[in-house]
């Protein structure tokens, strides 16, 4: 199997179903050398593992690439970048009169009225949860989930805010879940169903290519769990950059875009990283340059109005600030370049972006049946069977079977596997995550490169499909 990433080259025109034109960087005044330097930084900075990149200038894709085994047609788990899609759903709901930003959260759940007795909790407005200003000083998700009903909103409204709502920023998942739950209740349908005719179809995003994890009550999580292709991220950013207009048609009110992407509350004390203390809008972060949606392990939709540019990144990067630092250092200056290189430099960039791949270590794995050693990070994985060229994972009652590549990535459904000197690596290509399997005698060890934040069973680590 080839280790080349599947990419769409700028010279080959739009990918299937796309409404984004492709051009060379110089055609849009972008220095290809800066793009190459940004790719260098992504590949060589500790704590950063890139999976995909799209750079848009003046509405056209000037550079894009996917690091094999990731590919353009693959959805990627976006973690908290999901919040910006939820915010967009709220924008549609407000525009259609389904939701009032100045109504209380409780007013949309009258069945909880008698049990929500705290005065501050009763005063939490929709706009407060939209900008992470419920008044709580700490994340409340675990406490909200402890409510016997399992209803996150119900549990959240029974946790007394530490301060008056609207006065304190706290990154708090039940805030976004409340937004999601309100929109779903008022629309009478799930978020994806609601977004399909309003966002997905107008932007040319295939509804079959996206999925959203559900809570225990059949509602999309809202705060996380959205799976989408890189181009969907770029298109969302471009819609906001164009102030809600797409192909000459207004989808979102311009006033909503302005409100969602300005700072509503001071978050300067939230995080020591400079790009997490510039202010917060409606599920968008303000940044040193422009604004963005982002998610755990380096999922980014960066919108740069001054440069008329959008940058979409998916990755497995615990050091998310390093990704932004590299963007500001290398890519940002390239968007306003005084001099542009010759065609040979752009040809080299196209060739490089067409051959991106995560490195492989080689080696031939041991064959046999392996039982878990002590201390495995994936406790549900009860057995590993390796034969010549194939691995079978026995996990939580499921059997996951995949080919093994030696010195390359072998992709089987949502799994990509390569051999290592001491075992095999399994990449779950619809998520950021990689599982290292060490094979020793008759035992295996299972260690995550980055630990999944949602799934307990390995079979869940892929785009969900709603029945």
Predicted pLDDT at 373:
96
- Give, as one character, the DSSP assignment of residue 191: H
Q: How far is CA 131 from the centre of its chain?
A: 19
Categorize the per-residue pLDDT at 18 as very low, low, confident or very high, splitting at 50, 70 and 90: low
What average pLDDT does range 202-216 have in this prediction? 95
What confidence score (pLDDT) does residue 457 get? 94
pLDDT score of 8 more than 50:
no
pLDDT digits (tens, 9 = 90+) for 32-65: 999 999 999 999 999 999 999 999 999 999 999 9
What's the rounded Cα separation, in Å, for the pair 366 and 218?
A: 43
CATH number of 10-74+229-353: 3.40.710.10
Q: What pLDDT does 444 receive?
A: 97
Q: 152-182 burial, b for 16+ CB within 10 Å, e for fewer?
A: bbbbbbbbebeeebbebbbbbbbbbbbbbbb
Beta bridge partners, 22, equal: 61
Query: Could you tell me the two tokens for 268?
Result: 């300067």
CA distance 434 to 51: 12
What span, in angstroms and rounded, lies between the C-alpha atoms of 244 and 234? Answer: 14
Q: How far is CA 190 from CA 219, 366, 389, in A?
A: 7, 46, 42
Answer yes or no: is pLDDT of 9 > 90: no
CA atoms within 13 A on the CB side of 371: 2
Q: What is the DSSP string of 262-290?
A: S--B--TTS-SSGGGSS-B-SS-EE-SSS
Return the pLDDT at 450: 97
Query: Mean of the pLDDT values across residues 345-367?
Result: 94
Residue 16 pLDDT > 80: no
pLDDT for 402-414, tens place per residue? 999 999 999 999 9
- Helices and strands per DSSP (H, E), number in the chain: 13, 20
Q: Are strands 245-246 and 60-66 parallel, antiparallel or unpaired?
A: unpaired
**Which of 34-38, 203-207, 338-342 has the lowest average pLDDT?**
338-342
Confidence at residue 467, expressed as pLDDT on a 0 to 100 scale: 62
Average pLDDT of the chain is 94
Average pLDDT over residues 215-240: 96
For residues 49 and 291, give the distance between their C-alpha atoms in angstroms, rounded to a whole number: 22
Digit-coded pLDDT (tens) for 266-308:
999 998 999 999 999 999 999 999 999 999 999 999 999 999 9
User: CA separation (Å) from 79 to 129, 304, 429?
Assistant: 18, 22, 14
- CA 261, 57, 329 angle in degrees (round to 5)? 80
Q: Which of 13, 5, 20 has its CA nearest to residue 310? A: 20
388: three-class secondary structure by DSSP = coil
- Delimit the domains of the chain by residue range: 10-74+229-353, 368-460
Task: Provide the H-helix boundaries in 252-390.
Answer: 254-260, 320-326, 332-334, 343-353
Q: Can you give the pLDDT at residue 386?
A: 97
Using the predicted structure, report yes or no on whether residue 87 has a pLDDT greater than 50.
yes
Count Cα atoms within 13 angstroms, Cβ side, for 26. Answer: 13
Q: What is the pLDDT of residue 280?
A: 98
């Amino acid at each position: 199997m080839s280790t080349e990433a599947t990419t769409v080259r700028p010279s080959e025109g739009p990918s299937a179903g796309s409404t984004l034109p492709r051009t060379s960087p110089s055609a849009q005044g972008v220095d290809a050398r800066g793009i190459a330097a940004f790719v260098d930084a992504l590949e060589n900075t500790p704590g950063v593992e890139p999976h995909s990149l799209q750079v848009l200038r003046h509405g056209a894709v000037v550079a894009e690439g996917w690091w094999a085994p990731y590919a353009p047609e693959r959805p990627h788990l976006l973690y908290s970048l999901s919040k910006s899609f939820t915010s967009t759903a709220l924008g549609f709901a407000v525009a259609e009169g389904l939701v009032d930003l100045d109504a209380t959260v409780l007013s949309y759940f009258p069945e909880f009225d008698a049990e929500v007795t705290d005065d501050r909790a009763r005063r939490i407005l929709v706009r407060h949860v939209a900008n992470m200003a419920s008044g709580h000083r700490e994340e409340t998700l675990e406490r909200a989930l402890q409510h016997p009903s399992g209803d996150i909103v119900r549990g959240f409204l029974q946790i007394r805010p530490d301060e008056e709502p609207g006065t304190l920023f706290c990154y708090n998942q039940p805030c976004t879940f409340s937004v999601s739950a309100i929109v779903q209740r008022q629309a009478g349908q799930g978020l994806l169903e609601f977004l399909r005719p309003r966002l997905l179809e107008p932007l040319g995003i295939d509804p079959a290519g996206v999925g959203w994890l559900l809570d225990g009550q059949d509602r999309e999580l809202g705060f996380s769990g959205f799976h989408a292709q890189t181009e969907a991220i770029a298109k969302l950013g471009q819609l906001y950059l164009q102030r809600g207009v797409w192909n000459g048609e207004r989808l979102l009110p311009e006033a909503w875009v302005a409100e969602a992407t300005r700072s509503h509350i001071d978050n300067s004390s939230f995080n020591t990283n400079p790009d997490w203390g510039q202010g917060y809008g409606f599920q968008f972060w303000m940044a040193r340059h422009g604004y963005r949606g982002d998610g755990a392990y380096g999922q980014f939709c960066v919108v740069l109005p001054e440069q008329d540019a959008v940058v979409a990144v998916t990755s497995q990067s615990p050091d998310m600030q390093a990704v932004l630092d590299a963007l500001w250092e290398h890519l940002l200056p390239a968007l306003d370049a005084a001099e542009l290189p010759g065609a040979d430099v752009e040809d080299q960039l196209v060739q490089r972006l067409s051959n991106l791949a995560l490195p492989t270590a080689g080696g031939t794995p041991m064959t046999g049946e392996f039982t878990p050693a002590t201390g495995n990070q994936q406790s549900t994985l009860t057995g590993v069977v390796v034969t010549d060229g194939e691995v079978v994972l026995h996990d939580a009652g499921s059997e996951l079977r995949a080919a093994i590549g030696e010195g390359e990535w072998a992709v089987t459904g949502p799994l990509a596997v390569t051999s290592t000197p001491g075992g095999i690596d399994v990449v779950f290509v619809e998520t950021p995550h990689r599982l290292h399997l060490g094979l020793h005698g008759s035992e295996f060890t299972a260690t995550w490169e980055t630990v999944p934040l949602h799934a307990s069973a390995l079979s869940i680590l892929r785009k969900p499909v709603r029945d």
